[in-house]
Structure 1
Amino acid sequence: MRVGNGRLCRFWTDNWSPFGSFESYLLRGTASRSGISRTATLSELCVEGQWALPPARSDEFLQVYTFLTTVELREEEDRYEWCVTDAPTNRSSTGDVYRKLNRKKKRGIQTDPSCLLCNSAPESRDHILFQCPYAWDLLQQVLTRCRVTPLLSWNDSVTQMQNLTGEKNLQRLTHLGWQATIYWL
């Protein structure tokens, strides 16, 4: 995430620092006892240009606090950035992901052809999205939350995404969820 005014960027969970998400870097699966709310945004923690944070209790927290001295909130909105082709952009492209994977394959980078998630069949677009039980469950959960019934073929799914109707924000959320799930898989 590219930080602007800090109103959207979550302190703990968004990937906005060189350390990744602070939840992963600092907490490592444990609950925070720092007094910083799990849903706190950067703008809530930076008051009039000063970070309102409790004292550091570990070397990792000290590193984070040192980093925070370099962060200044600005007027512009926070925004998400994607890096697929080593160039940041504010748009996600499933096609770019597949082109990058194909380039790696053409360069002769040897990898096990088995699905990394279930190890039960050769990895392919159709297997990953529609036959791998783990991946299918994840895609199903994301699309169900977007009020869409996932379809079992690539062409049908693409057509479904192109023909979404209803509220514009829900359409965007559905596209983002679908693309992000495919990218993650």
Structure 2
Amino acid sequence: MDEEAWRADRAREFASLNGRHVQSWIGVEFALRENTPDAGPHVFRDPAVPCLQLWGLQAVLADGRFGIGTYQHHDCWGLWKDTDTRVQDPDHWREPHSGTRWRVLDDELPVGPITEVTVYGDEGVVAEVRLTIGGRPLLLVAGEADETWSGELQFLRLDESVLAFTDPAKAAGMPWTTPRGRLEIL
């Protein structure tokens, strides 16, 4: 199968969510910062960061589960339907996985019927997926927050985490290391 057909199949998998119902969310969150003197060994939240940074995310649907993770394609990462079931196992994410934590995300991510799915490509991968769930937006971006030596965060697109934004406008204002302007609807 050629690369474009493979990416089109990934886009169709996300499109299959339209009309389904999200009952709950679980995810494995990556720390934004590690070993900070003021906040302890791992910082998962920062008021200046308008998204969750996740190793994997799983929607618990009325008719099953839909995992969301990333895949590597050449030097970029994209989003895909992930069948890795480790997201379902909170015990797997206890020590020694100290930079991660397993969480139920129902208070942060929208639940309800999915009424819109738009899949965006960039650099040959599924770069972003925008969903409307229960009337609320959710933007998923293949990317990552990277802590610099000075302690600042820079945001990388097409990287190995799933960034979840409940306000897509905030994603547009992020200090991305590469521009988001090349997105194409798949």
Shorter-chain TM-score: which interval?
A: under 0.3
> Which structure has greater strand proportion?
2
Q: Which has the higher contact order (CA 8 A, sep 6+)?
A: 2
Normalised TM-score (structure 1): 0.21
Normalised TM-score (structure 2): 0.21
Rg larger in structure: 1
> Which structure has greater helix proportion?
1
